[in-house]
Amino acid sequence: MRCACIDIGSNTTRLLVAELARSAEGVETGGLRPVAAERAFTAIGAAIRSDGSLPAAKIAEVAAVVAGQVASAGRHGALSTRTVATAAVRAATNGGELAAVVARVAGIEVEILTGEDEAGLAFVGALASLPQPPVGRVAVVDVGGGSTELVIGTQAAGPRWWRSLAVGSSSLTASCVHHDPPSHGCLTALERETASAFAGLTPPSVGLALAVGGSATTLLAIDGARVDPDSLAHLLAEFTAEAVLPTAVRLGLHPDRTRLLPAGIMLLIRASELVGRPLLIARGGLREGVVLGLLG
């Protein structure tokens, strides 16, 4: 059986079609086998106007993207598809209008997730992507475009502590990064804003920390699966040494993702410092959590 998730995020709208993974003997492993994945940079977070609303043109664009992804999910054999929206739609004053237009155009209901929902699904998807069930408490850090979710729990008991911070790679870039490449003043602003966002948090101790989300996935392709604050600082220097376009071309990245990476990396640095562990970049997150829920 195949199921699908369409994730309307602050930066991208993504489709995942997957089925339960099986061993060579045909036994379910508890993980997922991806069948198809699609991504569109819809930049909802950056489109929110000063009054907090999304323009009609952006709503129509997202609805058309979702309609295409619904059709693609069907072509790839998905028997059930769940569409979710995260921080940007949650924050928009007319997020309900976007959900209504998507329902009319794409024929599918949009569920606007709470921060707690988002954190819990990311936790489930991240742990399911590990080759072996983790022992003890695990932290999952989900850096999105409009929010950052921190969740701690165990494989057996699930999430037991979580926080949703109203800062993400897109929102921080919009408020702090005004030069290309980012100036010293831009980096100072990023440091100040991320320190303020994480101030006062006292999470439980953990033995393992996982990172998910667009920034983390991009770093996985560039620099391997395990990152600590020092290596993240090195990557931050690399991504701020030259302008976005030559960096994107050199590393084979989308320019929109490249532009957001300094803020995303800074958030990952703060999260790693907070939990006191290097971050293992997981191969699953929110979308995988949604699909696992559909598959039961």
Statement: residue 221 has pLDDT above 80:
no
* 55: preceding bond cis by omega (within 30 degrees): no
Nearest residue to 65 (alpha-carbon basis) of 44, 96, 92, 93: 44
Class of domain 2-113: alpha beta
Q: What number of other Cβ atoms are within 10 A of residue 221's Cβ?
A: 11
Contact 238, 163 (CB under 8 A): no
CA–CA distance, 108 with 64 (Å, rounded to integer)? 12
CA–CA distance, 67 with 152 (Å, rounded to integer)? 35
Nearest residue to 167 (alpha-carbon basis) of 134, 144, 200: 144
What amino acid occupies position 109? E
| Average pLDDT over every residue of 175-194 | 96
Q: Which pLDDT score, from 0 to 100, does residue 133 have?
A: 87
Statement: residue 166 has pLDDT above 80:
yes
- pTM value surpassing 0.85: yes
Domain spans, the chain? 2-113, 116-281
High-pLDDT (> 90) share of the chain, %: 83
High-pLDDT (> 70) share of the chain, %: 96
Topology alike, domains 2-113 and 116-281: yes
* Residue 25 or residue 63, greater confidence: 63
Statement: residue 223 has pLDDT above 80:
no
Q: And the tokens for 137? A: 């408490």
Angle between helices 255-275 and 244-251 (to 10 degrees): 80
Q: Under CATH, domain 116-281 is a member of which superfamily? A: Exopolyphosphatase. Domain 2 (3.30.420.150)
- 290: confidence class by pLDDT, cuts 50, 70, 90: very high
CA 55 to chain CA centroid, Å, is 23
CA–CA distance, 35 with 232 (Å, rounded to integer)? 31
Half-sphere exposure of 73 (CA within 13 A, CB side): 30
